[in-house]
Every structure is written in structure tokens, then in C-alpha cells.
Amino acid sequence: MKTNAVQRRNRRGRVIVISGPSGVGKSTICREALRRLKNVHLSVSLTTRPPGPNEQNGRDYWFVSEQEFRERIERGLLLEYANVFGNLYGTPKDKVDEALEAGQSVVLEIDVQGGKQAKAVYPDAVMIFILPPDENALAERIGRRGRDSAEVIRKRLDKAGAEIASAREHYDHMVINEDLERAIDDVVGIIEQALDGGASPRRRGSSVGEH
């Protein structure tokens, strides 16, 4: 038991990319999935977009100026970045690498352009894409969120179609968010299985020696 625990701690963590159209429920799924998983953390991205209602600097994003963002790109501090709806979004590399070295895994909740870049840097990244049950459900959720103008809502829906097509090529796991609890279970299951690295099913679900 002791040896197992030590071996697990020494193992390098994995990068887990979770993407999906905006409004699909990604953030809720990620937050709930992470509450159930040990040694898996969410990476906090940088963005140049202004904070929305209830968003906090350092918790939801690091809200930075475009100049600051560009400086980080030039200094090679971002492991991936993309322009999404006219704003820049990117993942700080140092925090991810520190976590991986310490045997922790890191979830990147990022768009498909960024997901592809992350996969190029970490070829063993676990790639999960969340799908809406249908397009109407997506439009309704984006509208209900009350954060976006009509123009932005239209852009988000246009991008969703393109992302879904591209995801089929680059992502290993597609999870449909028809029922929230089920989608969370699916994501947790995919991550647990990937982190177990093909261990026998006997070990999965066992709480013995997990601490």
C-alpha cells in the first residue's frame, strides 16, 4: 500500500483539456468534476476581456491589459493562447509545469484552437469536448447568462458550429451535456481512467490508500 502511494505521488501529472462551445455548461461541469477528483486542479487563464458580473480576478481569470498579455507572449510565458471573440485568452505555462512535476494534474478549460496547441506541447494530454444536446439549448443558455450583447451571442453560436467540427478531429472524448449530473459523472470517469493509466478496475473506486 505504502509503495503504491509513493509511486503514485512520484508519477508526473497529466494535462486535461476540456473544451466546448460557450454556454454548453463547461464551467459548471469542470467545477463539479474537480470537487470530486483528488490531485487535479484547474488552471486559471489570462484574458484581456473585462470581468463579467460575479467574476473575480485570480479565481475565474487573471484579467490583464492587452499590453501585459502581449509581453507574456513575447517572454514565452504562455503554453498556448488564442484570440476568441476579439479578446486574447491564454494559459500560464509555469504553474502547469510546476503542478505536473509535483505529480498533480491540471485541467485547461480552453477553446479548440488552444486545445490543439496544448496537445502539441503535451502529446499525452487527455482531450475532452463537451457537446450541447442541440443548438437551441445552446442559444437559450447563452441568452440566459445575460452577459453578452446580441452581436456577441451570434458570434458565439457561429463559433460553436466550427468548433464542434474541428473537435471531432482532435478530441478523444465527446461528452453530451443533456443531463448535468450524468455529464459530470462522464467527465470524472474519463479523467479517473486516464490518470489510472490502465490500472486494473479493482483499484478504481477503491478509497483505500488514496490519502
Nearer to ligand 5GP, 37 or 82 (CB): 82
Choose between 55 and 192: whose C-beta lies nearer to ligand 5GP: 55
**Which residues, other chains included, contact 30 with Cβ-Cβ below 8 Å and sequence gap of 6+?**
18, 42, 107, 109, 187
**DSSP letter assigned to residue 12:** -
**Which residues contact ligand 5GP (rule: CB under 6 A)?**
22, 45, 49, 80-82, 84, 89-91, 109-111, 113-114
Tell me the residue nearest to ligand 5GP as measured from the CB.
114
Single-letter residue type at 142: I
Phi, psi (degrees; rounded to nearest 5) at 89: -135, 140
CB of 166 to ligand 5GP, least distance (A): 12
Among residues 45 and 105, whose Cβ is nearest to ligand 5GP?
45
If the CB atoms of residues 89 and 129 are measured against ligand 5GP, the closer one turns out to be: 89
CA–CA distance, 39 with 48 (Å, rounded to integer):
29
Least spacing, CB of residue 87 vs ligand 5GP, in Å: 7
φ/ψ (deg, to 5) at 132: -80, 155
